[in-house]
Structure 1
Amino acid sequence: MSRLKPLFIGTNDAHAELTAELAGAKAAQLWRMAQLGLDVPPAFVLPTTLCTAVNSGDPSALEALDEALAEGIAGLEAATGRRFGDSRTPLLVSVRSGAAKSMPGMLETVLDVGLNPVSLRGIIAMTGNPRLAFDSYRRLIQLYGEVVAGVPASAFEERLIALIAAEAAEGEAELDPEALERLAHDYLAIFQRHTESAMPAEPMAQLRAAARAVYRSWEGDKAREYRRLNGLEGLAGTAVTVQAMVFGNAGGASGAGVAFSRNPATGEKGLYADFLFDAQGEDVVSGRRVPGDAALLARRLPVQSAALSHGADVLERAFADMQDIEFTVENGRLWFLQTRSAKRTPRAALRFAVDAVAEGLIDAATALDRLAAIDLEATGISRFAEAPPILAAATVASPGVACGRVAFDSRRAAEMAAAGDPVILVRHDTSTDDVAGFAVSAGILTAVGGRTAHAAVVARQMGKPCLVGCAGLVIGDEVRLGGEVLREGDWLCLDGQSGEIGLGRREIVVDRPEEALRAIEGWRKAG
């Protein structure tokens, strides 16, 4: 294989233009954001064309990969003034995936690559923030362990839960630097126990293994199932983007979030965001924590909130479509990490098309073209003919109503659906590993998580009612909802308009959006 040149973004050597086919949609849109003047951390990309060869173990491809990584890191060092693995001003990087078409949450990411005992001291010296250093280190060990080495996530989660209980903390955000240092050491021991080897300390060794693991995630079960469900089997593979880390877990004026330029559930215009203070992006999109919304961000960080809203408008105009944006605030500075056309419900797709034509964002012909794949019969607003007895409430992540029998995992959901019953998938949290369960379920309910988690995004794309962050849902030795015991097979009703959850079986009726449908018919006649 000929020598492979990394493709740079946001540096003096930035590539002239990146296409989604070569660099993946994520990197191509990063490049576009940088061109639009938005703050984007510098990055380099290894192309989709390398994916198959790397995954097959082609020696020349692996050599080309390693050489490109070394050249890319040298470019990031020059752009940031930091050194990979340095003891004074260390550069840390994220290693992310990106196919030509968006596959939210289906491929893997490794954050904080380059941390080891030497660079850990450098982070503390550079930032004066030991909590940031140890929090980032334990995150690296966990993600590297799960994604690269195959350590089960439960091994790390069980230790975290035990430490939170021992420290009498409400959650991981309350753990102090000393507790996080102990957690990092415990995670290293877990890694050693499960892999019978030590966590690699050499930064380039970490980077090479992380890049190969991200390429390898293309062949994972959930990625294959998502491509099958969405007709994406023809894609060439994923790219790998290596980007300088920015830290949402750097303290009170820092955090991570996901924002939509409009409500992806209804299409209503206005910033729709989830944000976690003192957190990294995986905390938001994993669905394991309950975030605040755009109003909280505006109250606590008004300048950054206004800049985010402006950036969302810029991106929506540039791409002429509703946008899904990942961002980080580090010590008060807003960074844009990703944008893509937003997955949305059929109802939101219809409203956006009508509003975008009225606003001059797109023309009627473009709107009709985008709506061609939308089942307009699915754009109605469903409701229960008679309200069920309400047990609890949750946050609406995807609208609509659903009534079905309770299943507590994707396997049982598939079995019950095959028997002919509608199913409500009930989980403590959902991950994109549950995509097969989503596909067969009438609705989804979770105890924790936010509206912009990857799992919620997938539910909206599938048009499934989804309620998240239900404080009244407690899953332990038994499952309780609003204090009542919930058993597999019980009938449950989810109201994706009000967020209410009730027991029993109810008839569902649908109200059609007649005004919007008349607008569509008018375009067709005019064309």
Structure 2
Amino acid sequence: MTILCIGDGSAKLYPADSAGAKAANLAHMAALGLPVPPAFILPIELCAAITRGEPDAKKKMADGLDEGIKFLECATGRIFGDRRRPLLVSVRSGAARSMPGMLDTVLNVGCVPDAVRGLIRMTGNPHFAYDCRRRFLESCGSVVFGIESAAFTAPLASLMSAEGVAQEQDLDCEALERLAAGDQQIVERERGPGADDPRDDLKAAAEAVYLSWMSDRARAYRKMEQLESLQGTAVTVQAMVFGNYNARSGAGVAFSRNPSTGGSEPVIDVLFASQGEDVVSGRRNPETEAAIARFHPAIDQELRAALKRLEREFVDVQDVEFTIENGKLWLLQTRAAKRTPQAAVRFAIDFVKDGLITPAEALRRLEGIDLSHLAKKRLVGIDAPIAQGIGAAAGVATGRVAFDSTSAARLAAGGDPVILLRPNINTADVRGFDAGAGIVAAVGGRTAHAALVARQLGKPCIVGCAKLTVDPAGRAAQIAGRDIHEGDWLSIDGETGAIYMGQGKVVVEQSTSELEEIARWKHAAASRGEAAAAASKA
């Protein structure tokens, strides 16, 4: 089996059918000279054999990993699991078509005890080193060994309370060392005690990513999006860059245009002293581009320039994941942005006006979109909003409250629309997204994976509502001090972020300008078709 390498000094491009869309786009960015950490790819063709448990496939995977790690060690000048200059890697998925957040990722692989000492020796920053160690144990424990996330989040919450801090990055290095030691005990209860072996961890992580192709949420997503013809996922192993390195570091997601409204300005979220999973998981409330402009104005301009270049290169609105490591920008992913129907039409019209695509191509991109979604909708017959969150997917909805995917499907089966209410939203809730008319979360940002999925499904979505607390187990919530129970009526506006008590009435106001533009394209295309037919007969 031949691995595919990114960052070896060449400008190779790889087809998405073998490398996966994520790696193909990484290679494309590297060929453009954009800052991309080196990586290698195990191809999609291995996925089916791994999921069937074929021994020969596991041997091919192990050999590919050994070859790839040698390449990364040469490219970075670091040694995997080393006690002096350790190399840490991320192990990510990548199907031929984007499936945001549906497949697994393991980060900080290689952060064994020797590597922790190496990170401290290399950086002089024990806080960073122990943060990487506990992140690896939590990621590996949940993805590889199937340990419930609560096994890690409960001790973290308890430690934060005991230390009197509101955010995990405010824990000092001694507290993080204790947290990592506790996480190690949790993992050892599953895999057994013994010395950490970074090579074994890497193989286990790669196999887990391949196996995530058959997870319930991945299969449900493929069915919803009619992607059942896809053959599997690739595995991309990439040198880690660290948004949690120090206060001058961070991680974020950037859209080259607004994927909810179709506006032309970029949408950028960032979390400082954090890694990318903190942003896309929806577990925390990120800051906006203004924070980057304030602390790193040069990086803000570099990121904006990269967004503009990528949009023109791929001739589509881009969704980019990035990391700032100690004042340096790195790009980790780009893909076509998931968008609401309204945004899709706005993008198509603007791209035609800018001469980037033809009207014929715009019509092709709009195939399958229900143009009735272009109608502007608003809520009437309802009191003032009781709370405000961040609009993540435009549109309005009214429905009965559900607190999990199962109850959302049950209420929807009864004929009523449903509003899914969650402490935070993640891609495990995908069945609830499908059943619901709208989604609200107490925590999370516009760029979280779950918000992307909501936009793609055309469901209004509100995140980061500070006045909302949700107790899914108790099937209850409070919004601005008001008790909310399963089955109660709520109404939401996913553009403004407003939340209302009760059942509002949805009024439709037809938007004509976009429809008229699309009608002109269709008329012109029909006229050309008639002229061509007449010419052929002549």
Regarding TM over 0.5, the answer is yes
1:270 is displaced (CA, Å) by 1.4
What's 1:523 paired with?
Answer: 521
What's 2:7 paired with?
Answer: 10
- CA-to-aligned-CA distance 1:218-244 (integer Å, 9 cap, x gap): 000000000000000110100000000
CA contact (8 A) 1:188 1:199 kept: no
2: CA distance, partners of 1:41 / 1:412: 43
1: CA distance, partners of 2:226 / 2:215: 16
1:360 is displaced (CA, Å) by 1.1
1:196 is displaced (CA, Å) by 5.3
- Aligned equivalent of 1:82, options 71, 78, 82: 78
2: CA distance, partners of 1:11 / 1:127: 26
TM-score by structure 1 length? 0.97
Matched, 1:487 2:500: no
> Which consecutive unaligned segments of at least 5 residues does structure 2 have?
526-538
Please give the residue correspondences for 1:374-453 in structure 2 after superposition, counting only pairs within 5 Å.
374-453=369-448
- Aligned equivalent of 2:468, options 473, 488, 494: 473
CA contact (8 A) 1:423 1:441 kept: yes
2: CA distance, partners of 1:370 / 1:44: 32
Amino acid in structure 1 at the alignment position of 2:197: E
Matched, 1:132 2:128: yes
Amino acid in structure 1 at the alignment position of 2:159: L
1: CA distance, partners of 2:96 / 2:462: 30
1: CA distance, partners of 2:449 / 2:251: 14
- Alignment coverage as a number of residue pairs: 522
1:8 is displaced (CA, Å) by 0.1
CA contact (8 A) 1:115 1:201 kept: no
CA contact (8 A) 1:8 1:15 kept: no
1:515 is displaced (CA, Å) by 1.1
What's 2:20 paired with?
Answer: 24
- SS for the counterpart of 2:271 is strand
- SS for the counterpart of 1:420 is coil
1: CA distance, partners of 2:374 / 2:344: 8
- SS for the counterpart of 1:349 is helix
2: CA distance, partners of 1:217 / 1:378: 33
- SS for the counterpart of 2:369 is coil
Amino acid in structure 2 at the alignment position of 1:523: W
Matched, 1:225 2:223: no
What's 1:159 paired with?
Answer: 155
CA contact (8 A) 2:145 2:191 kept: no
What's 2:101 paired with?
Answer: 105
2: CA distance, partners of 1:412 / 1:129: 46
CA contact (8 A) 1:106 1:226 kept: yes
Amino acid in structure 2 at the alignment position of 1:149: F
1:496 is displaced (CA, Å) by 1.7
- CA-to-aligned-CA distance 1:152-184 (integer Å, 9 cap, x gap): 111101111111111110111211111111100
What's 1:212 paired with?
Answer: 207
2: CA distance, partners of 1:441 / 1:374: 19
1:24 is displaced (CA, Å) by 0.1
- SS for the counterpart of 1:489 is coil
> Which consecutive unaligned segments of at least 5 residues does structure 1 have?
none
- Aligned equivalent of 2:503, options 481, 502, 505: 505
1:15 is displaced (CA, Å) by 7.2
Change (3 A) 1:454 1:200: farther
2: CA distance, partners of 1:233 / 1:154: 32
Please give the residue correspondences for 1:244-255 in structure 2 after superposition, counting only pairs within 5 Å.
244-255=239-250
What's 1:114 paired with?
Answer: 110
Matched, 1:57 2:34: no
- SS for the counterpart of 2:265 is strand
1:294 is displaced (CA, Å) by 1.4
- CA-to-aligned-CA distance 1:486-507 (integer Å, 9 cap, x gap): 1111110111232111111111
Matched, 1:148 2:149: no
- Aligned equivalent of 1:35, options 17, 31, 37: 31
- CA-to-aligned-CA distance 1:60-105 (integer Å, 9 cap, x gap): 1111111110000000000000011111111000000000000000
1: CA distance, partners of 2:191 / 2:66: 28
What's 1:172 paired with?
Answer: 168
1: CA distance, partners of 2:4 / 2:430: 32
TM-score by structure 2 length? 0.96
CA contact (8 A) 2:382 2:503 kept: no
- SS for the counterpart of 2:452 is helix
1: CA distance, partners of 2:96 / 2:495: 34
CA contact (8 A) 2:393 2:460 kept: yes
Matched, 1:273 2:273: no
Change (3 A) 1:133 1:463: same
1:512 is displaced (CA, Å) by 2.6
Amino acid in structure 2 at the alignment position of 1:411: T
1:200 is displaced (CA, Å) by 6.1
1: CA distance, partners of 2:159 / 2:14: 45
1:388 is displaced (CA, Å) by 2.9
Amino acid in structure 1 at the alignment position of 2:478: R
Structure 1 window deviating more from structure 2 (472-481 vs 446-455): it is 472-481
2: CA distance, partners of 1:437 / 1:225: 11
2: CA distance, partners of 1:200 / 1:272: 44
- SS for the counterpart of 2:256 is strand
2: CA distance, partners of 1:294 / 1:515: 31
